[in-house]
Structure 1
Amino acid sequence: MPLNQLLDWRLHLLVVVLSLGAEFIGILKFPIGPGTLLLLPLFYAFIAAVLCNPHLFSGTKRFIPPVVSMAAGPVILLSIMPFIARFGSTIGPAIEQLISAGPALVLQELGNLGTMLIAMPIAVVVLKMGREAIGATYSIAREPNIAIISDKYGLKGPEGVGVMGVYVVGTMFGTLWFALMAGYLTSLDIFDPRALAMACGVGSGSMVAACSGAIAGALPEMGEELLAFAGASNLLTYATGLYVSLFIALPVAERLFTFFSAKRGVAPDALAEEDAKVAKDAMVEERPEQQLGKTAIVVAVVCVVGWVVNTINGAGLIDAAPGMLILYVMTMLGLLVARIMPFYLPAIAWVSLVSILMTLPWFPGSGWITEQLSFVNFLAIVTPVLAYAGLALSRREFTMFRQAGWKLVIISLLVFTGTYIGSAAIAQWLL
């Protein structure tokens, strides 16, 4: 996408306004049974952005043209990166605690199998789904998981329908579901907060941000430690999650489907072939590290957006300026490393590694770096991410959501719940 569209002032100004309003409302708490439901500013920002989306209500096109929505899509990933850098900066100072919890961090990835143990029997036995249940339940259905299904089955088949359906639901509601679920489970005091934070690592960048933010919001006195556990877990997920999904989860899903269906096929409600093709094409867009010049400018803009939004529940512009500049440098260094490395690892992982390295106790100046970053509220800089996400939803995604049907909505929420609780349970046991 051309740089002038990515820098459309209407997009970034709208995100600033929505995010500032959300931050002004703050965290709302609602007692529900034995626990408490937390509504974070990122929740309001997302909902407000969806309501402003020109693809949802035609009347909004007079004020927010579709080109603004189109520009928001590529900006989402870039807006997550400063948060990931802030995320990683909590890991370095807590490196000793993380090493002591090493086995729990590594093995909790097996909690992904919880997706099938809960969702598969309901999908096949109760909802009478066919092979789309395999794609829908074998993972949390983020981009690497879609790539696995695309390579093995193709996205036009029933397995592709399943994984894309969960992906669409996750794109629209997954972040909010993780935030609500994590905050509520924290209030129940059943799990160790560190186990809940580790379980956040199984999701996408925005899911991890919302999930860990909810837990840290419920337990602010442990905020930095919990973010460190969630960040380390997410980093390990990049290294191990793809292989767990490919070599363990998918074969198990095939066997469970055969067992529960008793070899009885059910015709899937197929998505339109054009939707599947476009969704597949969207996965192979040029990565940001391949366009460092343009990326550097856009990242600078989203850092400024986060810097302004941080003034409500963080520090003032002057106090927070060095911290935001450090996050910008960490982000660009991570992208540069991703560009020059001879093997592929997601740029977000490199950004996280750079921020971890720069905040390790023995890194020169790490104390000063950590002090400056303390002026940047981690929740404040993730709120704009959700605003960009709400505006980025396209007509196709709204259409795919309607076509996916209520069955995939139910299965998606079961998948998210099973993955999170399964990972938390394993981490709790190992801790």
Structure 2
Amino acid sequence: MNAANRMSPLDVLRLHGLVVILSLLAEWIGIIKIPAGVGTLLLLPLFYTFSLAIVLNPHLSTRFHALAPPRLSAAAAPMTLIAIMPFIARFGSTIGPSTDQIISAGPALILQELGNLGTMLIALPFAVLVLKMGREAIGATYSVAREPNIAIISDRYGLRGPEGIGVMGVYVVGTMFGTLWFALMAGFLASMDLFDPHALAMACGVGSASMVAACSGALTEAVPALREELLAFSGASNLLTYATGLYVSLFIALPVAEWLYRRLNARRLKKGAAQDSTVHKSGADQDSDTVRPEQQLGRTALTLAAVCVVGWLSNTISSGQLWGALPGMVMLYLMTLAGLVITRLVPFYLPAVAWVSLISILVTLPFFPGSAWLVEQLSAINFLAIVTPALAYAGLAPSRHEFVMFRRTG
């Protein structure tokens, strides 16, 4: 967080104020639905705010330097991880009250996440052997590259390194085209009558609110007689992915992706291992995330408070609640901060996003004292509204080096 340390208080206020404006504008525009054959293309506020932030990024164009100078871009990178942690706490809070449903899923829970590993097992060899990608392939293919996966990569490598470039690139593509692809494929496969509609509904739940909405919506249009059942199956599937996807990505997918990348790239690494190591190191050196948030708890607590205020204001437009959502946002702040404190204190390393998720699950379990009240307060917090500001920080964060890597990766 060295870049943030060099910022004046006025610059800090300017950065947060700019994110507030972008987030509120995006939430005011709302969700735009564009009919596309058998499916519907959904344009969400998080897409608008990310796009607007990219346009304002000082490393893309000098046109808006007066509004967003380069020093703001450098400070936005570490704030991206901090800004996404309340979202991790919020989706973790949906798991605790649903433990019975998750346990009753039985083998489906395990099989679903094993299926999601296909993004890596199929795409990573193609990226390395055919597209000749470097370590960007790890971030791009180890998951479906949604918000929790960005948090893992940001915490492990930083978003300015090649892995961060990979995960953000796929996130942008998924945000732009993923909903359309899911909607079209769902309607097309349902019309072929090759698969049980319930199985297709389960396949909708990949851990993305926008994709599951587009996919399940297309299915219900194709099979209207099963509307309620298909919505229930897709919602349960998405919940199971939220419950397990973070940990499967962290403990299985990412280590396997690292191992598989080394195997696929063995010949080049033997000839120029130092070069690959240097590229990886240079990406980390340019990233102001190299000081982890839990290593500066005092400064991180203040930054977290600021981004929670930004998220709270963004939530106001989407949910229509200002003071009613305040207790829930305070709870998210405390759960996130507790996760950071535990990350700092435990004698072994586990990413902060994992601790934040575990705490939010624990305090919302039915037997935890006060969990019913806590779940009620958190219900006023809109999932997508609190992740919208994180995407504004992410759009402002890319450096000139990253834009070069984006163009090279293609």
TM above 0.5, yes or no, is yes
Q: After alignment, is 134-143 or 172-181 more displaced?
A: 134-143
Give the one of 99, 105, 110 matched to 2:103.
99
Matches within 5 A, 1:35-114: 35-107=39-111, 108-109=113-114, 111-114=116-119
Any unmatched runs of 5+ in structure 2? 190-198, 218-230
Partner of residue 365, structure 1: 370
> Which residue number corresponds to residue 212 of structure 1?
209
- 1:31 matched to 2:35? The reply is yes
Specify the code of the residue in structure 2 equivalent to 1:99. Answer: I
Which consecutive unaligned segments of at least 5 residues does structure 1 have?
Answer: 151-163, 201-210, 410-431
> Is 1:81–1:348's contact at 8 Å kept on the other side of the alignment?
yes
Cα contact 2:124–2:261 (8 A) shared by 1: no
Q: How far apart, CA to CA, are the structure 1 residues paired with 2:313 and 2:81?
A: 19
What is the deviation of 1:345? 1.1
**Cα distance per residue 1:331-387 (max 9 Å; x no partner):** 111111212222211100100010001111111111111111111111111111111
1:9 aligns with 2:13: yes
User: Would the alpha carbon gap of residues 322 and 401 (structure 1) be closer, same or farther in structure 2, given more than 3 Å must change?
Assistant: same
Distance 2:85 2:177 in 1: 23
- Partners of 1:131 and 1:93 in 2: CA distance: 41
1:349 to 351, 354, 365: 354
Deviation at 1:29, TM superposition (A): 1.6
Structure 1 residue aligned with 2:254:
242
Question: 1:30 aligns to what SS in structure 2?
Answer: strand
User: Which whole-Å CA distance do the structure 1 matches of 2:53 and 2:136 have between them?
Assistant: 31
1:300 to 302, 305, 308: 305
Shift of 1:315: 3.6
The answer as to whether partners of 2:162 and 2:283 remain within 8 angstroms in 1 is no
Q: 2:333 aligns with which of 328, 340, 347?
A: 328
How many pairs align? 369
Report the counterpart of residue 196 of structure 1 in structure 2: 204
Please, which of 185, 198, 211 is the counterpart of residue 182 of structure 2? 185
TM-score norm. by structure 2 comes to 0.77
**Residues 72 and 246 of structure 1: is their aligned pair in 2 closer, same or farther, counting only changes over 3 Å?**
closer
Alpha-carbon distance between aligned partners in 1 of 2:135 and 2:311, rounded to the nearest angstrom: 40
Moved more, 284-293 or 171-180: 171-180
Deviation at 1:183, TM superposition (A): 5.9
Q: Deviations over 1:122-163 (max 9, x none)?
A: 8646x6x49889869874597878999x9xxxxxxxxxxxxx
| Aligned counterpart, 1:428 | none
1:165-193 deviations in Å (ceiling 9; x for gaps)? 67424324524515741564156255544
Q: Distance in 1 between matches of 2:136 and 2:85?
A: 33
Q: Are the counterparts in 2 of residues 27 and 41 from structure 1 also a CA contact under 8 Å?
A: yes
Distance 2:300 2:88 in 1: 16
- Identical-pair percentage: 42
SS at match of 1:308: helix
CA distance in 2, matches of 1:364, 1:350: 20
Residue 42 of structure 1 and its aligned partner are, at CA, apart by 0.4
What is the deviation of 1:239?
A: 2.9
1:66-111 CA distance string (max 9 Å, x none) = 1111111110000001111101010011111112234333342454
| 1:228 lines up with 2:239 in the alignment | yes
Match for 2:331: what amino acid? I
